[in-house]
Amino acid sequence: MTDLTSLWHFSRPKLAASLCARLVAGERVAMFGARQTGKTTLLREEVMPAAMACGALPIYIECWADKGKPLDSINYALNKALETLQLKPGRSAARLARTPVKKIGFATASVELGEVGNRTVPANPYLAFDALLTQLIEASGQRLVLIFDEFQAVAEAQDADGIAGALRSALTQASGHAGVVFSGSSQHLLLQMFSRAQTPLYNFANAEPYPLLKEDFVGHVAGRFLAATQRDMNQALALRMLETVGHQPAPFLNAVANAMSRPDWSLQDGLDAMLDPKVINKWSSAWLGLTDLQRVALRLVQADRPLTAAASLAWAAEALGMPKAQASSLSRAAESLAAQGLADRDHGSGRYRVQDPVMAAWLTRNSKLPCKLN
């Protein structure tokens, strides 16, 4: 079946235009939303072209390019954008030639720079961000729209406060020249960075949720479904199915594609086919790739049962065919699930939860599968 994610792409021009207008006006936005719900697609395929149409220069910054060193990822993106700008024929040469010598500063330090395009970027990565941003503003002569994607990587870095401080210092100096989106999949980490007092980025951006795909997206898909199959789609059921998969367009359209492949299949049949454990996909492969103990831990996490409770340990021992299960072993298994992206820890309660709503639905659909496979 053809991948409907790109074929049936749902554009949101009003949302993109509204966000673009705010950014071109110099606003800073911290936008959080779960992974795979369409944030990056909206920003890259709609907001960035809209910014270009308004005469701004959009720059996409993938903070996960080097998860261990997010500032290096940020500086790499700025340097790449600067090189691209300088290579454009007939555009930047005259501007670069007439740009005067300037100073850029960070905290109490300042660095003297020569002509744009001939300047040496400081080896210090904090100063390098300021220098590269300054050069981009001067070389482009345009307002910048900076899109920091997966920005929670900064919050997870060892030098998080140092990076955040450098970003705030440089972006404050550039406030008349740049609008910024800090996009991320962790609501907790983004809110912690922008809403907690005593942090470098406190109140630096307007924190708001990413608008999820809902009824309008379902209506769009229903129209395409009717045109392709001459069958009506139950939009109420479709909306519930979209909610089941966490408002992620790709798995939702996967289930729709399954329903399209069989004239006698409903949307529920299409979803059931996607969650069939015999079908090789990312969810069944994830299950099969776990150890027996990790499967047990995942079941307990999915059921929201405390890993170290006596009842949980007794259930784990029975599922594994062992006389006893160790609390420490289950805790380590849960940590491994988190490292694999299958679970994350609630910062309030300390409990783990299944990260992907589709994986949670897969586990519910296949609750009878044994955890011990060998």
Q: What is d(CA 211, CA 149) in angstroms, rounded to the nearest whole number?
A: 16
pLDDT for the residue 90: 58
The per-residue pLDDT for 119 is 66
Question: What is 4-209's CATH number?
Answer: 3.40.50.300
Q: What is the pLDDT of residue 198?
A: 87
| pLDDT for 97 beyond 90 | no
pLDDT for residue 78:
97
CATH class, 282-365 region: mainly alpha
Q: Where are the domains of the chain?
A: 4-209, 215-274, 282-365
pLDDT band at 92 (very low <50, low <70, confident <90, very high): very low
Instruction: Please check the confidence at residue 107 and state whether its pLDDT lies above 70.
Output: no
Are 221 and 256 in contact by the 8 Å Cβ rule? The answer is: yes
Average pLDDT over residues 314-341: 95
Cβ pair 168, 200 in contact under 8 A: yes
Lowest-pLDDT range, 29-33, 86-90, 133-137, 352-356?
A: 86-90
Quick: pLDDT tens for 267-323. 999 999 999 999 999 999 999 999 999 999 999 999 999 999 999 999 999 999 999
Lookup: tokens for 301? 């996490």
pLDDT tens for 219-238 read 999 999 999 999 999 999 99
pTM of the complete model: 0.86
Strands of 144-149's sheet in order across: 57-62, 144-149, 178-184, 28-32, 206-209
16: its two tokens: 């993109």
In this predicted structure, the answer to whether residue 252 has a pLDDT above a threshold of 60 is yes
Q: In whole numbers, what is the pLDDT of the chain averaged over residues?
A: 90
Q: What mean pLDDT do residues 94-122 have?
A: 47
Same fold: 4-209 with 282-365: no
Q: Please count the CA atoms within 13 angstroms of the CA of 294 that sit on its side-chain side.
A: 17
In the prediction, which pLDDT does 215 show?
A: 97
